[in-house]
Amino acid sequence: MISHRDRSAQRISALDERAEALHLKRGMGIADARAMHPSIDIVEADPEADRRLLEGLADWCDRYTPLVALDGADGLYLDVTGCTHLFGGERAMLDDILARFFQQGFDVRAGLAATPGAAWAAARFCGDRIVPSGEEEALLAPLPLAALRIEADIRASLESVGLRTAGAVMAAPRAPLARRFGSTLLLRLDQALGRLDEAVSPRLPVAPLSVERHLAEPVVLTAEIERLVEMLAVTLKVDLERRGEGARMLALLLFRVDGAVSRIAVGTSRPLREPKLIQRLFHERLAALEQDIDAGYGFDLVRLSVLAAAAFDMQQADLTGEAQDDGADIALFADRIRARLGDNAVLKAVAVESHLPERAVATIPFSEAPQRTTPPKRSDRKDAPPTTIFPPERPIRLFRSPEPIEVPATEMPEGPPMNFRWRRALYRVAHAEGPERIAPEWWQKSEEDAPTRDYFRIEDSDGRRYWLYRQGLYGAGQPSPRWFMHGVFA
């Protein structure tokens, strides 16, 4: 038996068939149960472990349908619409589910019906049963009120007026039932009978495209899994070409014969549908996870799914038949590195609209960086004047945070320093260019009172070049300006 704490008392939360034969029931106090049978074994409930087990079983049920939802703490919903013919029909599918659960050591009850409410009642009160469409009322009529999935207080109120079965509720006038017991009772009844639709929300998003292969002999070796990935990618390519799309996120699901499921996902920087390239990405990912994937007695089902897709831009081929795409090799290299080391292993610098240099560039994962899909437009005017405005020169290395320096003297209050001390070393200025005035964004409220910066390009007596700035302006009533080193040139 399994016990749980209910307020200040320990009560039975679950029990097996042998405990039921001893006339023990759920909700009974542990003290009363031990008084009746002192030798019973009692285990404290672990809700978190039960939840993980139920989620693991839900993952395993993905082999039958991608629409799997959790039902409380001890049940699963499987929407098998359009899937039963893949397993030889409804009876064959239900028998296969029950047999596989039994082989894993679980005592499972299942029901199959046209509505979630009828299937729930068939599973919990009738055992292994398939309810033909239109016979939901005949199924529910002899069952107790609990088969309608209503609250305990509503059941107690119904029983107090002599309504003890679902059939008695269905035979009673609806208006008095709604006034006295609320609308939930009629809602549950109509959902079970199919008068109102009841949505089953899957716990995981459904992939728009999936291909799978059932194996007569389970596979164990990584090389065999990679070969299957390439074979599945060939089939997947046809569907992607028909939709004019390429995969941006792929998932490989490995179903082990004992019920465990391994999920392996890879992302791409560009839409991808070439089987060889998909196989390379999963080769890197499998190599990185080799120690974490336990094949056990082998995998008997392998599925490749497209979790996210995007429009696939065709590339113009040259005379050799090869597409001209200078960034394709870099994107593939970055994807392989990310597949082995993680999404943050390859970062890309992108421009940010900010006046301050330290905020003008941000590093983001390579796959999230914007990709140019069309070449830049060129002017068609032959007489258009050439562009002669160049952006200000910037240093090769920009410090993450500007470092303070000491400036003992300047040629003029607003001019460059004559020498400065940085990191305990004195540098004499030979040449200087500037100032270049940079102020924070005026529309940012947090930057309204931030001081203005005057940047100078400095060359010392040894030929080394630096980028430093004066923060603040000279003037009456203002604090003395401070100097900072922000970067160094090559």
Closest by CA position to 126, among listed 143, 108, 105, 106: 143
Distance CA 192, CA 215 (A): 38
Strands 245-256 and 261-272: antiparallel
Q: Say whether pLDDT at 433 is over 70.
A: yes
pLDDT at 347: 82
For residue 472, give the 3-state DSSP assignment. coil
Q: Residue 375 corresponds to which tokens in the numbers above? A: 């070449």
Strands 361-365 and 9-14: unpaired
Q: For the CA atoms of the chain, what is the radius of gyration?
A: 35
pLDDT band per the 50, 70, 90 thresholds, residue 155: very high
Residue 277 — φ and ψ, nearest 5°? -70, -40
Distance CA 12, CA 447 (A): 62
Cα-based angle 475, 476, 477 (whole degrees, multiple of 5): 115
Mean pLDDT lowest among 74-78, 272-276, 321-325, 442-446? 321-325
CB 461, CB 430: distance < 8 Å: yes
Residue 399: HSE in the Cβ half-sphere, 13 Å Cα cutoff: 13
Distance CA 5, CA 18 (A): 22
Q: Residue 65 corresponds to which tokens in the numbers above? A: 């349908």
Per residue in 356-379, pLDDT (tens digit) is 888 888 888 777 766 654 455 555
Average pLDDT over residues 8-23: 85
CA quadruple 283, 285, 289, 295: dihedral, nearest 10 = -50
Q: 3 forms bridges with which residues in the sheet?
A: 12, 44
pLDDT at 450: 73
Per residue in 28-73, pLDDT (tens digit) is 888 888 888 888 888 888 889 999 999 999 999 999 998 999 998 8
**Amino acid found at 45:** A
Query: In this structure, what DSSP letter does residue 475 have?
Result: -
Q: Residue 336 corresponds to which tokens in the numbers above? A: 């392989």
Distance CA 222, CA 283 (A): 9
pLDDT at 389: 56
Distance CA 474, CA 76 (A): 73
Q: Say whether pLDDT at 239 is over 80.
A: yes
For residue 240, give the 3-state DSSP assignment. helix
CB 2, CB 73: distance < 8 Å: no
**Amino acid found at 13:** S
Closest by CA position to 59, among listed 42, 46, 78, 73: 78
Distance CA 12, CA 6 (A): 9
Strands 245-256 and 111-112: unpaired
CB 377, CB 397: distance < 8 Å: no
Distance of CA 130 to the CA centre of its chain: 35
pLDDT at 190: 93
pLDDT at 27: 85
Distance CA 225, CA 29 (A): 52
For residue 292, give the 3-state DSSP assignment. coil
Per residue in 243-287, pLDDT (tens digit) is 999 999 999 999 998 888 999 999 988 899 999 999 999 999 999
Q: Residue 426 corresponds to which tokens in the numbers above? A: 């004195």
pLDDT at 345: 82
Q: Residue 390 corresponds to which tokens in the numbers above? A: 């160049």
Closest by CA position to 64, among listed 224, 239, 303, 236: 303
Distance CA 96, CA 73 (A): 23
Q: pTM of this prediction?
A: 0.71
pLDDT at 3: 87
Per residue in 174-232, pLDDT (tens digit) is 999 999 999 999 999 999 999 999 988 898 888 999 999 999 899 999 999 999 999 99
Length of the chain: 490
In this prediction, what percent of the chain has a pLDDT beyond 90? 51
Q: Say whether pLDDT at 327 is over 70.
A: no
Q: Say whether pLDDT at 449 is over 90.
A: no
Residue 355 CB neighbour total at 10 angstroms: 14
pLDDT at 308: 92
CB 65, CB 53: distance < 8 Å: no
CB 447, CB 355: distance < 8 Å: no
Closest by CA position to 264, among listed 302, 214, 298, 237: 302
Q: Say whether pLDDT at 316 is over 80.
A: no
Per residue in 94-103, pLDDT (tens digit) is 999 999 999 8
Residue 224 — φ and ψ, nearest 5°? -65, -40
Residues 6 or more apart in contact with residue 263 via CB below 8 angstroms: 59, 251, 252, 253
